[in-house]
């Protein structure tokens, strides 16, 4: 599967199938700081992502002072 990462934008290949929870763990990310979007759809932790899917790992932390 293709995994798109942000800040900076980059793309990696990752073997599937794998659950969202396992993918986040293997990428060493904090689930509180990201959303996982598979083929344009928000997916929960227990969803399985397959080899033919494109996954975006979207960071949610933003902001300087306002």
Partner 1 sequence: MKCRVCRGPAVIDIRRHNANFCSEHFLKLCRDQTAKAIKDFDMIAAGERVLVAVSGGKDSLACWDILLDLGYQAEGFVIGLGIGDYSASSTDYARRYAASRGVLLHEVSLPEVYGYDIPTGSKVAKRVPCSVCGMSKRHLFDKAALDGGFDVVATGHNLDDEAAVLFGNTLRWQTDYLGRQLPVLPARHGFPRKVKPLVRLGEREMAAYCVLKNIDYIVEECPMAAGNKHLGYKEALNAIEVTSPGSKHDFYFGFLARASAMFRPEAEEEQASLNACTRCGAPTSNPEVCAFCALVDRAGGQIPVTISPRVRTSA
Q: Which chain residues interact with partner 1 by CB under 8 A?
A: 5-8, 29-35, 37, 41-46, 57-66
The CB density around residue 48, as the number of other CB atoms within 10 Å, is 14
Contact 30, 4 (CB under 8 A): no
H/E segment holding residue 24: helix 20-26
Residue nearer to partner 1 on the CB measure, 22 or 35: 35
**In the complex with partner 1, which residue's Cβ is closer, 15 or 32?**
32
Q: Tell the smallest beta-carbon distance from residue 25 to partner 1 (Å).
A: 11
Question: For residues 49 and 53, what is the distance between their CA atoms, to the nearest angstrom?
Answer: 7
CB of 38 to partner 1, least distance (A): 11
């Amino acid at each position: 599967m293709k995994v798109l990462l942000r800040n900076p934008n980059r793309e990696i290949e990752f073997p599937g199938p794998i659950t969202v929870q396992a993918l986040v763990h293997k990428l060493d990310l904090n689930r509180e700081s990201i959303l996982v979007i598979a083929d344009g759809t928000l997916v929960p932790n227990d969803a399985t992502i397959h080899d033919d899917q494109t996954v975006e790992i979207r960071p949610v932390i933003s902001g300087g002072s306002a």
